[in-house]
Amino acid sequence: MRRDTFLKSLAALAAAGALPLSARAAANIKMMIPANPGGGWDTTGRALGKALQDAKVADSVSFENKGGAAGALGLAQFVNGSKGDPNALMVMGAVMLGGIITGKPPVNLSQATPIARLTSEYNVFVLPASSPLKTMADVVAQLKKDPGSVKWGGGSRGSTEHIAAAMIAREVGVDPAKINYVAFRGGGEATAAILGGNVTIGGSGYSEFAEYINSGKMRAVGVTSGARLKGVNVPTLKEQGINVEIGNWRGVYGAPGITAPQRKALTDLVLAALKSKSWAEALEKNNWTPAVLAGDAFEKFVDDDFASLRATMVKSGMV
């Protein structure tokens, strides 16, 4: 075979995703993070970017943060600006589904391409260290006395901590529509509000608050898991007589309009990154639970979770 013919054949195979990862040119990945810096999506996207490079399946990874509306602003920019781009990725998760349900944005997640679920994490509720309230029981007592006086701080409307706050209210006999929820555009803003005592109670993924809990700047009063988190001495809401359990998960989507071979190639890159030492270190550091699910199974999971979240939000009076 002539050399030029061989090279053309090799290029065609690479474009079709038929070559093993080691035989393909490493990609230059563009990562959309639909949230402001400092939160769970930001941490996840940057950890994945490092893992893609450490696994040698990406030469470079560039990041763009676009926060607001539970990720809907970033989703709109991703959908409209990356059509057909086989190297574009967007971080997303349960929070985006909740935001779509409550906000009804003009763009839809179905316009992008499902790639993989990465992790699962439960929320923790915390009080500022200076708060006169000391326990979740204190929060509930205040909530029953005057629902509006309890300012719940967290991510965008429709986030898992917002849903959890509404579920807690319902479980303790308070109208969920009366909760005073303060939405922030990113984890950094929510953290600053809690540390500054500008909200009564805050919620987020445990990893986002861990350093402040460990240093005593925040007091953890409940987690939304069914059982206590490994190595974390914080009681569950269920232990405290509040029948609420809700998890948070994060994943990645590809651009609209990519081909099936391009989708497979992008999925292979992500799955390779998840096997790297760098990603294993990120899981341990952030107390993330691996929850890998790819392809059609991930797409079905998103559809099912969307329906389940919507039902929960309707029951909690959020929609």
3-state helix, strand, coil in the chain (%, to 5): 45, 20, 30
pLDDT reported for residue 208: 87
pLDDT reported for residue 25: 52
Judge contact between 133 and 125, C-beta under 8 A.
no
pLDDT reported for residue 203: 96
- Which pTM value belongs to this model? 0.81
CA atoms within 13 A on the CB side of 273: 30
Tens of pLDDT, residue by residue over 209-227, are 999 999 999 999 999 999 9
CA distance 231 to 265: 37
- Low-confidence stretches of the chain (pLDDT < 50) are 1-3, 5-24
CA distance 269 to 277: 15
pLDDT reported for residue 318: 84
Tell me if residue 43 falls in helix, strand or coil: helix
